[in-house]
Amino acid sequence: MSSHDDDILDFDFFDDATRETTGTDGAERAGDSTRPSGGGPRRPQFRAPQGLTPILRLVGLVAFAILIVVLLVVWGQGCSNDKKRNGYEGAMSDIGTIGSDSAKIGSDLAELLTTPGLKQAELETKLGGLIQLQQQGVDQAQGLDVPGPLRPATDHAVEALELRVGGMQGLLDTFRATKDDDSKNATTAGEKLAAEARRLEASDVVWQFLFRVPAEATLHDEGLCDSLTEPSCVRAPASVFVENVELYTARSMTAIWQRIHGASTGGSPSGVHGTGLEKVVVQPAGTQLAPDTETTIKASTDLAFEVSVKNTGENQEVSVVVTLTIPKGTTPIVKTQTIDLLDIGEIKAVTFKDFPEVPFGEKTSVQVSVKPVQGETNTANNSAEYPVIFSLE
């Protein structure tokens, strides 16, 4: 026998011995249930395949890795959506601020044109200042960094602001060019002024239909405003420059030019000036009050008083102040409104509302007065007192 064969025998011997010893020890540990009495052969024992556990661990790790990837994707999408929303919200907020400032300039322009006793020099100075402010708004809008899909609509917002600058500059140029004209040319001057003012009206159309409507369509397409009633809906801002289109008609601009032209020559207002209280109607009932008849008024949250005032003079009147008073102990209810512009022979109404605490069940009155305009001498028809009783039914 060779030495190689001896090695094999030695290996087999020790291997068998090892198995035998292990089996004996296992039988002793397991008790009689693993080996029958009498020293019979060992019962076969089931052992799980040694390679299954690593596979299960690998499957678990793969599943956990997939879960992590999914969570990262969802988190990344959430961050991307938040960034997108913030970008659009920021853009709309910036444009909204510029639009609000522009609307305020429009309000200031209307107030300027309806200022009693306004002279040419004052007009030129203040109107020039408003133009500069609006030009700053144009510059700000042009420099905005907005999301790409909003750029076309935003460009139209800039166009609307530029129309406002151009319209006001046209008014200023026309006032300057006609300041030395004879009063016989008032109608021509008024028509020129009205033509320039059409750009102001056009700016509101451009802002609404070329900026706001397309912008809101884009916000909808981007999933930022499925319904306008949603609290989280991103909205495109409004901006109205001309609140009262009647102010910029040829007739009104003619009267404005005459008033400013006359004031610039100095002296007191010429011609007949005057206003008159036409009627007071209770809404929503539609009952007209009478100075010599007591009227029972049903109080409700919709209660309102519609006061109509007429220009009874021969000149356009501006900033006509109307006051309504209801006596109530030591603290009467007092409300005031202003009619910006009242042309010759024109009747306009203002509505007073929000009366939460009227004096119920007692005789009282509704007092209405119209403040005399500059140059008005006859004030007999400027006020009236109407006896009333407020009832809950």
pLDDT tens digits for 173-182? 999 999 998 8
Of 361, 262, 264, 351, which is closest to residue 314 (Cα–Cα)? 262
> What pLDDT score does 45 carry?
58
Q: Work out the number of other CB atoms within 10 angstroms of the CB of residue 168.
A: 26
Residue type, 136: Q
> What pLDDT score does 33 carry?
47
> What pLDDT score does 23 carry?
46
| Top-confidence residue, 284 or 233 | 284
Q: Is the pLDDT of residue 264 over 70?
A: no
User: How do residues 93-112 score in pLDDT, each as one tens digit?
Assistant: 999 999 999 999 999 999 99
**Mean predicted confidence (pLDDT) in 134-151:** 96
**Mean predicted confidence (pLDDT) in 237-258:** 94
Using omega within 30 degrees of 0 as the cis cutoff, is the peptide bond preceding 332 cis?
A: no
Q: Work out the number of other CB atoms within 10 angstroms of the CB of residue 294.
A: 12
Q: 22 falls in which pLDDT band (50, 70, 90)?
A: very low
> What pLDDT score does 16 carry?
47
> What pLDDT score does 212 carry?
96
Q: 191 falls in which pLDDT band (50, 70, 90)?
A: very high
Mean pLDDT of the chain: 85
Cβ proximity of 175 and 193 under 8 Å: yes
User: How do residues 28-65 score in pLDDT, each as one tens digit?
Assistant: 444 444 455 555 556 555 555 556 777 877 777 787 77
User: How do residues 323-373 score in pLDDT, each as one tens digit?
Assistant: 999 998 889 999 999 998 998 899 999 999 999 889 988 899 999 999 999
> What pLDDT score does 75 carry?
57
Residue type, 219: L
Q: 117 falls in which pLDDT band (50, 70, 90)?
A: confident
Instruction: Tell me whether strands 295-298 and 383-391 are parallel, antiparallel or unpaired.
Output: parallel
**Mean predicted confidence (pLDDT) in 301-315:** 95
Alpha helices in the chain (DSSP H): 3-30, 52-113, 120-142, 151-177, 186-205, 213-221, 250-264
| Residue carrying structure tokens 């522009």 | 102
Straight-line distance from the first to the last Cα atom of the chain, in angstroms, rounded to the nearest whole number: 131
